[in-house]
Chain A
Amino acid sequence: MTIGIPRSMFYYYFNKKWKYFFDYLNINTIISPKTNRKILDNGIKLSTDEMCLSLKSYIGHVDYLKDKCDYILIPRIDNYGYKEQTCTNFLAIYDIINNIFDIKILDYNIDLEHHETELDGLLKLSKILKRTKTKIKKAYEYACTMEGKDKKKIVIDNMNKLSSKKTKVLLIGHSYNLYDSLIGTPIINYLEKLNCEVIYSDRFDYQSTKQTVLKYSKNLYWRYSKQNISSLKYIDKVDGIIFLSTFPCGLDSLVNELVLRKINKPYLNLILDDLGGIAGMETRIESFVDIFEY
């Protein structure tokens, strides 16, 4: 049995955990390649026009995987507790994919407000995975501890960057945008070419930076937006801030606008669409970085 994992959206939040989990259970996984023009174009063809760019690319990835594996892994995340909700696309993604494609889907639900944890969801898969519940539980615990260790390294690495002597730029955006090879990577590469130190908003320890959110917004209730905004705890240590979002992103349209009005550092608000030309972005980033040299 092989399980397909689309390299978009959820992948960037759970990739390490899934890797350890399925390795422990000895199950084959196949991960779709990095986003390229062909995958995105396929996604755009299959989706409704007004969907956000990230969701379009997700649909493209599923389309690539659909006849290369037995099941496709799609979790549904409702919330991580009170005031820790997610975007409505995360709630609906399972049903959207299920209605566009005729494929078998491996799904589990995270809904802590109604007492459905990640482990509960995974245990329900035991019949399909053909592994016993005790083994799944062990695998999950193993995956969690290993992921925790890896994450510590990443956090320390990101914190070290704060004391670097280069120009420091804080990049705020959702993980699935920052690391996507068509959306975030060209921008990060260009920033590095201009000799900047890029600090990622999602590579901080959320538990310790959580309180910062209240300073900017009192009733923000989206988990991943909160995580991004909480990185502003270190606003004094960076030179500039870049907000990166994809065209009609529901959360960023409101949250970024509010935060922009409250910070007093140089900032750049980049919104990407599916046209793909990077030249315009490069000019804007270059002039933004020039600010710091004077």
Chain B
Amino acid sequence: MGNYYIPASYFFSHALNAKVMKSPKITSKTIELGSKYSPDFVCSPFKYTLGTMIEGLEKGANVIFQLGGGCRYGYYSELQEQILKDLGYDFLYINFITGGKADVKKIYRELKKIDKKFNPIKALYYLFITTKMIKYMDKIDDYIRKNIGFEVNENEFEKTNDEMLKEFSKTRNYISLYRTYKKYRKKIKSIKVNKKEVLKVGIIGELYTVMEPFSNYFLERELAKFGIEITRFTNAHYLLFEKTKKVKKYLKNTKEYIKYRMGADAHDNVARAKELCEKKYDGIIHIKSSFCTPEIGCMHIIEKICSKYDVPVIFFSFDSNTSEVGIKTRLEAFYEMIEMRKNNEMLPRN
């Protein structure tokens, strides 16, 4: 999941004394491998992750960690384990969340299997540092996403971010982590940005697609070329700590459209779409992987909200065959449309 491998590998290498292998970058070969062995109409994150796992196992990994979520995601682990075992790989598969709940005892037993000297108190300390690291990463990331593409010297944001991540992975305790965070926050905010009048676009959608295939700021860069600033919502910190608190607030805000929770992130996205419309954004981009059931349900409602507030919206659905070029063309058309609307607003109406 993008740059999140750094806090994850930090945690496992310190708490378990294990050697963590960085998962290889997702290429078209990974996707091909993944879709070859997965069922036909499963959503694309399954195919991506399966492909990465196969590549990782081939390079010599012998333990795989997987999490679980509210929708189909919670059931990924069992089928993936079966598929990989049928392919003849020998490994240990550890799933942290089963049936929507984390079973502490079971996790302890599994971790003890990997490392016999496993110490839960030490692990808790490193868990604390890891969560803080995720929080700081997301804060910096938010700022970068808003400004990337507008910088005077090209690639400066990414360079500084990489430096920061390198230093993060070497931290020993919380205080040193906090100091590096402060140092780089200053550094990043001092980077010169050339921003004049910009159009504002919000990105909502299914969490994996929002985070993964374009984690390297692809969408941000493409849109910045046209002078569009982006707002995103979903990040790891939100998913882990804020989501449960915010659901009630979201449902209250969108009373006239939805009454119940719609599963996974669907109701969040409806609430965000409304929020963006009320803030008078110039457009909304909704992205999801194909066959994502909860998002399909909420697409209709988002469309209804957008037509009421008169805000343009575009839907992207990714599967293993989607190419960057096709997306670029559609984005260009979308940009031209919002720009024309903006210009028409400035003209006096008869």
Contacts and interface: CB of A to CB of B under 8 A. Distances in A.
Interface of A: 48, 50-52, 76, 78, 82-83, 85, 87-89, 91-96, 98-100, 107, 109, 217-221, 247-251, 253-258, 261-262, 271
Contact of A92 (B70, B98, B100, B297): B297
B298 interface: yes
5 contacts: A76-B260, A92-B263, A220-B78, A253-B291, A254-B39
Nearest to B298: A92
A88 B260 CA distance: 12
Contacts of A94: 259-260
Given A87-B293, A88-B70, A219-B74, 11 more contacts: A82-B99, A91-B263, A92-B266, A96-B300, A96-B301, A221-B75, A253-B39, A254-B39, A254-B42, A254-B79, A258-B79
B291 A50 contact: yes
Contact of B74 (A82, A221, A258): A221
A221 B99 contact: yes
Contacts of B259: 94-95, 98, 107
Interface in B73-127: 74-79, 82-83, 86, 95, 98-101
- Which of A76, A92, A100, A248 is packed against the most chain B CB atoms within 10 Å? A92
A109 B260 contact: yes
A83 B99 contact: yes
Contacts of B39: 253-254, 256-257
A217 B300 contact: no
A92 B193 CA distance: 43
B75 A219 contact: yes
B293 A250 contact: yes
A83 B42 CA distance: 21
Contact of A253 (B41, B71, B301): B41
A88 B300 contact: no
A98 B298 CA distance: 12
Nearest to B264: A88
Contact of B294 (A92, A221, A247): A92
A109 B259 CA distance: 11
B40 interface: yes
A217 B75 CA distance: 10
B313 to A, nearest CB: 13
B49 interface: no
Contact of A218 (B72, B78, B260, B317): B78
Interface string B46-80: 00000000000000000000000011101111110
Given A88-B263, A92-B266, A99 B257 contact: yes
Given A247-B41, A254-B42, A258-B79, A96 B260 contact: no
- Which of B70, B76, B98, B100 is packed against the most chain A CB atoms within 10 Å? B100
A82 B95 CA distance: 18
A95 B72 contact: no
B89 to A, nearest CB: 15
- Interface of A (DSSP majority class): mixed
Contacts of A51: 296-297
A250 B304 contact: no
A91 B350 CA distance: 48
B262 interface: yes
A48 B317 CA distance: 12
B290 interface: yes
A109 B98 CA distance: 25
Contacts, number: 113
Given A48-B300, A95-B260, A99-B257, A250 B72 contact: yes
Interface of B: 39-43, 70-72, 74-79, 82-83, 86, 95, 98-101, 257-264, 266, 290-291, 293-294, 296-301, 304, 317
A96 B75 contact: no
B75 A254 contact: yes
Given A217-B78, A219-B98, A254-B39, A91 B261 contact: yes
Nearest to A113: B100
A262 B82 CA distance: 9
A95 B262 contact: yes
- Which of B75, B77, B98, B290 is packed against the most chain A CB atoms within 10 Å? B75
A19 B301 CA distance: 32
B252 to A, nearest CB: 15
B291 to A, nearest CB: 5
Nearest to B101: A82
A100 B75 contact: no
Contacts of B40: 253, 271
Given A50-B296, A254-B72, A258-B79, A248 B260 contact: no
Nearest to A91: B263
A257 B304 CA distance: 36
Contacts of A251: 72
Contacts of B78: 217-220, 258
Nearest to A256: B39
A88 B297 contact: yes
B158 to A, nearest CB: 34
Contacts of A257: 39, 42, 79
Nearest to A93: B297
Contacts of B75: 219-221, 254-255
A256 B75 CA distance: 12
A48 to B, nearest CB: 5
A89 B297 contact: yes
A204 B101 CA distance: 29
